[in-house]
Amino acid sequence: MMLQATGGSGVTSAASALTNALTGEAAMATDETSRTCKRCHVEKPLEAFHWARGGDRRNRLYSCKVCILTERRDYKRPNPPRRDKERLRLWQAQRRAKDPDGYRAYMAEWRAKNPAAWRAHNTKTRLKRYGLTPAQFASLAQHQHGECAICAAMPKTLHVDHCHSTGKVRGLLCAWCNTGLGYFRDETETLSQAILYLQRHT
């Protein structure tokens, strides 16, 4: 607002008008002494409402402090912090230590509600042990046409076969072949003897 000096009385009048306007605006802004919360629908004094953001100290929120706090708590219970994996792991460890039974119940409920996400998490965790990503596993399965690398069967689930000495992934096998190699401890001599044994008694 620009004030034009037209004399002492003019300046005084303009300043008085400005002061009266500001005083009146502030009075209008503070006329409200109570407000009805839009969440709990209870009329409460203005002190029960937080100031609105943005630096305007004349406006308050329309949800009371109690409802905002309750909403935040209700959200945090089923929604742990996800800003980074480290914080999520810390939250899980703290919850397990504080309430193991409650944490097990929470995880059981989450698995029941999110079966696809749980399967994907399990697959990713298992593949990580072999240094594979889900995309690499899918590429390897496609290269084998979905077949077991030994018996050529097409099982519903293919298992990662790896060398126990070097950790190198050799291929994907069905459960029978993968278990069989494990029982023979990956010893080619023993496997050869088993083949000869079968041939002699066929």
Query: What b/e sequence results for 156-188 when a residue is b if at least 16 CB atoms lie within 10 Å of its CB, and e otherwise?
Result: eebbbbbeeeeeebebbbbeebbeebeeeeeee
| Whether residue 200 is found in the same domain as residue 137 | yes
129-159 confidence digits (pLDDT tens): 899 999 999 999 999 999 999 999 999 999 9
* Residue 136 pLDDT: 94
Token readout for 139 is: 């590429």
Q: Which of 9-18, 75-84, 87-96, 125-134 reaches the highest mean pLDDT? A: 125-134
Rg of the Cα atoms in the chain: 36
| Residue closest to 56 by CA, chosen among 16, 25, 24, 17 | 25
What are the E-state strand segments in 65-164? 159-162
Residue 138 domain-assigned?
A: yes
pLDDT in tens, 38-70: 999 999 998 999 888 765 556 888 899 999 998
CATH of the domain at 190: 3.40.1800.10
> Average pLDDT in the 73-82 region?
65
Q: Give domain status of residue 187, yes or no.
A: yes
Q: CA separation (Å) from 128 to 50, 123, 159, 170?
A: 47, 8, 13, 15
Whether 136 maps to a domain, the answer reads yes
13 within domain boundaries = no
Mean pLDDT of 65-83: 75
* 150 in any annotated domain: yes
Tell me what the mean pLDDT of segment 180-184 comes to.
92
pLDDT at 7: 47
Q: What is the count of structural domains for the chain? A: 2
Is 122 within 8 Å of 150 (Cβ atoms)? no
Q: What is the mean pLDDT of the chain?
A: 81
Q: Which residues constitute the domain of residue 196?
A: 131-202
Helix, strand, or coil here: 158?
coil
Tell which of 49, 79, 109 closes a domain. Answer: 79
On whether residue 159 sits in a domain, the answer given is: yes
- The reply to whether 137 and 75 lie within a common domain is no
Residue whose structure tokens are 């009266």: 20
| Residue 145 placed within a domain | yes
The whole-number pLDDT of residue 56 equals 56
Both 201 and 137 in a single domain? Answer: yes
Share of the chain above pLDDT 90, in %: 46
Q: How far apart are CA 119 and CA 156, in angstroms?
A: 14
**Does residue 179 carry a pLDDT above 60?**
yes
Domain-located, residue 62: yes
Report which of residues 3 and 105 the model is more confident about.
105
What mean pLDDT do residues 173-200 have?
A: 93
Q: What is the pLDDT of residue 12?
A: 52
* pLDDT over threshold 50, residue 114: yes
Predicted TM-score (pTM) of the model is 0.48
Left if phi > 0, otherwise alpha if psi is -120 to 50, otherwise beta: which for 171? Answer: left
Q: What is the CATH number of the domain that holds 54?
A: 3.30.60
**What average pLDDT does this structure show over 161-177?**
92
